Structure 1
Amino acid sequence: MLDYRLLEALSAVIETGGFEKAAQKLHLTQSAVSQRIRQLEHRLGQPVVLRRSPPVATALGRRLNNHLQQVKQLELGLLDEEQGEPIKIRLTVNADSMATWLPQAIAACPLSTQMDFDLVVEDQEVGLDRMRNGEVMACICAEAQPVNGGAVSSLGVLRYRALASPAFVERYRTQSEPKRLVDAPCLIFNRDDRLQHQFLEALGLPPPVRQHRVPSSEGFVEMALHGMGYGMLPELQVADYLASGQLVDVGPVFILDVPLYWHFWQTESAPLTALRRTVLDHASRLLQG
């Protein structure tokens, strides 16, 4: 029989990335958290966390954390919605969805005022790792294959264009000589962001030489507007700038449709089902089909 106090300690260490932060989250001492992890490992006969900086869950540790997340889903389904306690919802989302269509979709859920959201921002290509490791209740990402114990629903596609300011295009002459894009400053969200690389690859060009790393959707747009670089931007986010001519195609018109999916556990609770259905409904109207 699993001791869920011990699993909560494991989950906190994985989620926060350290024993000290896990102790703060659980309102325990660091030694108490360490003791619970050791107790769990003693009962199971093998390690659940590799003592690194930050700690890394073993394969068993990830399975246990995954199991705990599904148990939490079942517990949510047993809660009385009228009891007045907020429902804690932890989701992995991509930054561009947060900057465009997702807040409106979440707010439309009838239960949203009863929910406390913890939104973990990850690139759409890698966000599913959080769910695979049992760290979140649901995930929006570009991966169509569900995790073990999970299911998936298609949301639609977020359309991207390779854009920059007119001054940038004129300075680097990227429309008349696309090969100059390789040496021109390129905007990337983080090290997992490969959209710009896909753009250059589609033009038969090597990866960008110069890169500005801008881990903010709003900052990404501002950097492009002020001529600091070019990048793949969601049409939904920059429609007004395209209409006004403040942003233009940096080279040949290039459209990249990134599919988005909502991943959820098969043990999905009623509140999460309501949220998912509302988000899917709004995505069908706000995203490309």
Structure 2
Amino acid sequence: MKLLSRHLQALAKVIETESFETAAQQLFISQPAVSQRIKQLEQQVGQPLLIRNSPPQPTALGKRLMHFYRQAALLEAEVFDSEDLNTQTLPIAINADSLSTWFFPAVADFVKNAHVLLELRVDDQDQTLRLLQAGEVTGAISAEQQAPGGCDSIKLGGMKYHCVCTPAFRDSYFAKGPSKQAFLQAPALHYSPKDQLQSNYLAKYWKVAPTSYPFHQIPSTESYLDFILRGLAWGIVPELQCETHLANGTLIKLDPKRPITVDLYWHTWTLQPELLKGFSQQLQSYCQKELR
């Protein structure tokens, strides 16, 4: 049984996919039909719900309706739970480092036992919260402590990072040890334009301006580490990802006395359906043991 209107569903699909065409394909209807449903919904509420740019973006009311749709969809599935309606989708915003290290071990049993489908949106840990605020996800892992309105913030723990490179790279650029001048010459590695770990570290400890040092940019956690292991750059890497390489000597800590800890928080709705509540408890329980 479906209680949510097809008009809200069309709006949600356009916002999720950022495309009228893709939304139409996923709903198995024509693109004009998607547009018509959204226009009818806008007529009902008396104001625009989408900014029709490329990609389309929700208005303030559109974001609030997305929040409502996400919550209502989970509650609807909970109310009408049955043998043929026991698989629900949880859209989650997560940072790439968490995804590549601790997240799957944390949620694997829950996903299997609760018959839940995950829809993961990957962004920088400083950016994931905007997806929750926009109503595009039901929860977000973020470095921000302050929760948006209508949401709770739960501290998961801290991810420890180290400034690392290969011994050969150190000998080439940091033969006399780390210094401002050495960091101005040695190429760093960034994950994406939103990645601030390296620039924040250099500004805090070495008074190096964000635009004054050379850096590569590779938006892949696996390739990020591989690039550093090839001796092509220094970078800031999660301890969970580099501890084996540090132990066997293929990587060294450039600045061993200054590890970086990023506190992570789980943000989700204050009023949670049972499925989301169980997911939140699983995350919190795992991270309290595994994240320092």
- Fold agreement, TM-score > 0.5: yes
| Aligned amino acid, residue 236 of structure 1 | L
- Are residue 285 (structure 1) and residue 261 (structure 2) matched? no
Counterpart in the other structure of 2:90 = 89
Change (3 A) 1:96 1:69: same
How many angstroms does 1:145 deviate by?
A: 1.3
Counterpart in the other structure of 2:199 = 197
* Residue 248 (structure 2) aligned to one of 236, 244, 251: 244
SS in 1 for 2:126: coil
* Residue 187 (structure 1) aligned to one of 186, 189, 202: 189
How many angstroms does 1:188 deviate by?
A: 1.0
Q: Which consecutive residues of structure 1, in runs of 5 or more, have no partner in the other structure?
A: none
* 1:115-146 superposed Cα distances (whole Å, 9 cap, x missing partner): 11111111110101111111111111111111
- Greater CA drift, 124-133 or 136-145: 136-145
How many angstroms does 1:75 deviate by?
A: 2.1
Counterpart in the other structure of 1:48 = 49
* Residue 276 (structure 1) aligned to one of 260, 277, 280: 280
Contact 1:17 1:55 in 2 (8 A): yes
Contact 1:94 1:141 in 2 (8 A): yes
| Aligned amino acid, residue 181 of structure 1 | F
Change (3 A) 1:177 1:160: closer
Counterpart in the other structure of 2:24 = 23
Contact 1:125 1:141 in 2 (8 A): yes
Q: Distance in 1 between matches of 2:4 and 2:104?
A: 37
Contact 1:187 1:230 in 2 (8 A): yes
TM-score by structure 1 length? 0.93
- Are residue 132 (structure 1) and residue 133 (structure 2) matched? yes
Contact 2:133 2:148 in 1 (8 A): yes
CA RMSD in angstroms, aligned pairs only: 1.9
SS in 1 for 2:65: helix
Equivalences for residues 26-37 of structure 1 within 5 A = 26-37=27-38
Paired residues in the alignment total 287
Counterpart in the other structure of 2:103 = 102
Q: Distance in 1 between matches of 2:201 and 2:244?
A: 23
Change (3 A) 1:275 1:26: same
| Aligned amino acid, residue 56 of structure 2 | P
- Are residue 254 (structure 1) and residue 258 (structure 2) matched? yes
- Greater CA drift, 124-133 or 263-272: 263-272
Q: Distance in 1 between matches of 2:59 and 2:183?
A: 42
Q: Distance in 2 between matches of 1:223 and 1:110?
A: 33
Contact 2:4 2:73 in 1 (8 A): no
Counterpart in the other structure of 1:206 = 209
TM-score by structure 2 length? 0.92
Percent identity between matched residues is 36
| Aligned amino acid, residue 186 of structure 1 | A
Change (3 A) 1:274 1:252: closer
How many angstroms does 1:82 deviate by?
A: 5.2
How many angstroms does 1:105 deviate by?
A: 0.6
Counterpart in the other structure of 2:122 = 121
- Are residue 266 (structure 1) and residue 267 (structure 2) matched? no
Change (3 A) 1:81 1:265: farther
How many angstroms does 1:35 deviate by?
A: 0.8
